Amino acid sequence: MSGAFDSSLPEVVRDPRWYPYDLDRQTGAIRFADVGAGWPDWKRFFAHKPGDGAIPQQNLSAQDARMLAAGEPPRINFIWHTAFCCSTAIANALEVPGASTAHLEPQILISLAHARRQSDRDARGDLSWLSQAVFRLLSRAYAPGAAATVKAAPTSSYLVGDATLKTSGRMLFLYSDCRSFLLATLRYGEQRRRYVRSLFRDLRSEPRWSRRWTPEAMAELTDLEIASLTWQLQIVRFRESLVRLGERAASLDCDAFLAEPQTAIQRLWAFFELPGPASASPLFTDPAFLTRHAKFASDTFSPGQRREAQKNIAPEMLAEVERIAEAGYEMFPENRGALANSLMR
């Protein structure tokens, strides 16, 4: 286990079968759900909505949660990503029962990021203690010596600063290029575009960006223009974080992963210092790993499908994608080629 938990603390803290699934943003209380003894049955847990009563649940008060903010920073790795960049497949490739667990976009980090944004924007006080408490809970090992990696949702990336100061692990900044991000925004209908707008809303609400785009200006932007700004603002954070973190951080272009998936996982395994050999990854042990959609197992997938997806897009729309991507770089010229795909050098 990463960090010792005092025996006087509640069972939900000491026993990793109690998963911290969400946060009460008003009180700071942490909500737990029972994912079972031993290695967690993630599919069983995530098949249910929080609060539906199908899984036993408990709460930990903010006062008790404060006790978790003390001690050495926990050892935990992070994957921060732009979305639409194979992050789920990469996280799944790090899941080896008994050795390495990968948390997939924990809801508690999404809620925590929202609380941190609002607190910072309104100058309500420092909530980094709560980040420390949550990170310690997510670092708990499900087997002796097992490692923990968090694939955070894009909207959770506001917590990169807290993770830098409050953990001792390493961080991967995973991305697609701007053009691919825009093309991905066009796929899967209105729900995908709504998601990108929601992500931009969160980014724009951060103190450093909140005065740059007024609601009136946002209303005049197209879906693709919103997507371009969303990508650029994420890359600003990634670029600055890579400089600040030094050897604790690496970047990876998802196209480089798709071109050489086994090499990428071997390097990521070594970078994260995960226990055991990289060959234990399901990427190596499961022949069908890269033929299934990472999020929808019933769907097929191949690296070629991602690259060929643009064939169904009208030429005039492809031209618009190119124009808007270039306009984004004119607004943020320092982002062009900034991440450099350091993991695969």
Here the CATH number for the domain that contains residue 127 is 3.40.50.300
Describe the crossing of helices 223-245 and 178-186 by its angle, rounded to 10 degrees: 140
* 129-140 pLDDT tens trace: 999 999 999 999
* 51-105 pLDDT tens trace: 566 788 899 999 989 988 888 899 999 999 999 999 999 999 999 999 999 999 9
Pairing of strands 171-175, 249-253: parallel
Number of domains in the chain: 1
Under DSSP, is residue 253 helix (H, G, I), strand (E, B) or coil?
strand
- In sequence order, which residues have a C-beta less than 8 Å from that of residue 311 and are 6 or more positions away? none
Under DSSP, is residue 104 helix (H, G, I), strand (E, B) or coil?
strand
Residue 229 counted as domain residue: yes
329 within 8 A of 335, measured Cβ to Cβ: yes
Residue 3 counted as domain residue: no
Residue 76 counted as domain residue: yes
Domain that holds residue 80: 11-344
Residue 5 counted as domain residue: no
Under DSSP, is residue 239 helix (H, G, I), strand (E, B) or coil?
helix
Residue 146 counted as domain residue: yes
CA distance to 12, 164, 171, 247, 320, per residue, from 241 (Å): 33, 9, 10, 11, 31
DSSP 8-state class, residue 20: E
Residue 141 counted as domain residue: yes
What are the 10-residue block averages of pLDDT along the chain, 345 residues in total? 66 92 89 86 60 79 89 94 96 95 94 93 87 95 93 98 97 97 91 96 92 88 97 98 97 96 98 98 94 74 68 89 97 94 95
> What's the token pair of residue 56?
């036993």
Residue 339 counted as domain residue: yes
pTM for the model stands at 0.94
Residue 270 counted as domain residue: yes
pLDDT at 6: 73
> What's the token pair of residue 117?
């944004």
